[in-house]
Structure 1
Amino acid sequence: MEQKKKRSIMRGVILAILALAIGYTIYAAVTKDKIELITAGAEAPDFEVVDLNGEKHRLKEYKGQGVLLNFWGTWCEPCEREFPAMERQYESFKKQGVEIIAVNFAQSEFEVSKYVTNMGMTFPVAIDKTKSVFTAYNIGPLPTSIFIKPDGTIDRIITGEMSEVEIIQYLESIKPE
């Protein structure tokens, strides 16, 4: 009798957990659709991030310049492979009116700072601690790069690793006239 009672309670707990999991899955699917998908040609959502040096970066303040927003994580191997190419192009394109801002996916400041130092990254790197920028841009897999034209519209969205040739080509396409 005691054994049957324990089994019934265990089954009830398992059913409750399954019900919660199904409910969450449905909720996540329904609310994800409410996030407006960002597409080429659309106005880039404004945001403000603070980089590892304490400097604020607000997208609307870059109006008139091209901006590459690169979303990444320290565990992301394709991110690690494309950063050296971005770094090699950064100074040249910055002088031509194009900024690169790398936005990390809510990792610790210690972890990100150590990574940035090891990689020799000199462009602004910010941590999206609240994931608000990731949400605004509906970022899925990493890396994802958003190329924003000087007028504030999105030129293109690249999901996955880029070669240096592609990085140069895409940065050229967002240079101010």
Structure 2
Amino acid sequence: MAGRLKLSAQILAVGVVAALFALLAWKLATQDEGAASKLGRGANPAAPSFRLDRLDRPGKLTLAAYRGRPVVVNFWGSWCAPCKEEAPVLEGVWQRYRGRGLVVIGIDFYDVKSVARRFARENRMTYPLAYDGPGKTLSDYGVAAAPETYFVARNGKLVCDRIQGGLNLDRNRDLFEACVQELLGA
């Protein structure tokens, strides 16, 4: 009797695990992949809007506040080594082109605010910074990993392709500069 009970419990456990995997597979197959999936198919979707707590000062940061201006949106985390390496690249672009209207926005995610603020201070990040702790904006954009960078034209549409990985990497540096120039010319 104990053997049959044990076998029944094992069968039930396997069934529950199988059901959970099926649910996960269904969820992944039917979920909206965010703006990145549309951008990757050659479309220029509207950049997802956001209203997030600021890290660089009190208040909220919204994409709508920069409508009509070219915007670089960079997703980062204090726990991300490539994010630290690319911070000077983003700061340099912000300093070099903000006089021409370019805005760089850094969005920190899956982090602790105090740690993110310290990271920003230590890396001399002076461009607008926001906090997306739970990752809703991350999901809206379809961010796969940190760092990831998007380009928003003056009309609010995403242009170029997202850049995954550090901007300091050779394979990303030229694409990043070309996308910034496209934003400034648009």
TM-score by length of structure 1 reads 0.84
Deviation at 1:118, TM superposition (A): 2.1
CA separation in 1, counterparts of 2:38 and 2:82?
22
Give secondary structure in 2 for the equivalent of 1:86.
Answer: helix
Q: 1:111, CA displacement in angstroms?
A: 2.2
After superposition, the Cα gap between the structure-2 partners of 1:168 and 1:22, relative to the gap in structure 1 and judged at 3 Å, is same
RMSD of equivalent CA atoms: 2.3
In structure 2, what is the equivalent of residue 174 of structure 1? 183
CA deviation profile, 1:127-168 (whole Å, cap 9, x unmatched)? 112422112211113221111112222222222222355544
CA deviations on 1:75-128 (whole Å, 9 max, x unpaired) are 322222211111122222222211111112231112212221222211122111
Tell me the residue number matched to 1:23.
Answer: 23
1:59 is the counterpart of 2:63: yes
Residue 164 of structure 2: aligned partner: 159
Find 1:106's aligned residue among 89, 107, 110: 110
Structure 2 distance, partners of 1:27, 1:8, is 28
The percent of aligned pairs where both chains have the same amino acid is 23
The structure 1 residue matched to 2:133, chosen from 114, 129, 132, is 129
* Whole-Å separation in 2 of the counterparts to 1:129 and 1:29: 25
CA distance in 2 between partners of 1:97 and 1:166 (Å): 20
Q: Distance in 1 between matches of 2:117 and 2:130?
A: 10
Residue 46, structure 1, aligned to residue 49, structure 2: yes
Contact 1:66–1:176 under 8 Å retained in 2: no
> What SS class does the counterpart of residue 32 from structure 1 fall into?
coil
Q: TM-score, normalised by structure 2?
A: 0.81
Secondary structure at the counterpart of residue 139 of structure 1: coil
1:5 is paired with a residue whose SS is helix
User: Is the 8 Å Cα contact of residues 68 and 100 (structure 1) preserved in structure 2?
Assistant: yes
Q: Unpaired segments of 5 or more residues in structure 1?
A: none
Partner-residue secondary structure (3-state), 1:90: helix
- Identify the range of structure 1 (40-49 vs 148-157) with the bigger mean alpha-carbon deviation: 40-49
Aligned partner of 1:11: which letter?
I
CA contact (8 A) 1:93 1:171 kept: no
Q: In structure 1, what is the Cα distance between the partners aligned to 2:6 and 2:107? A: 50
Partner of 1:2: 2
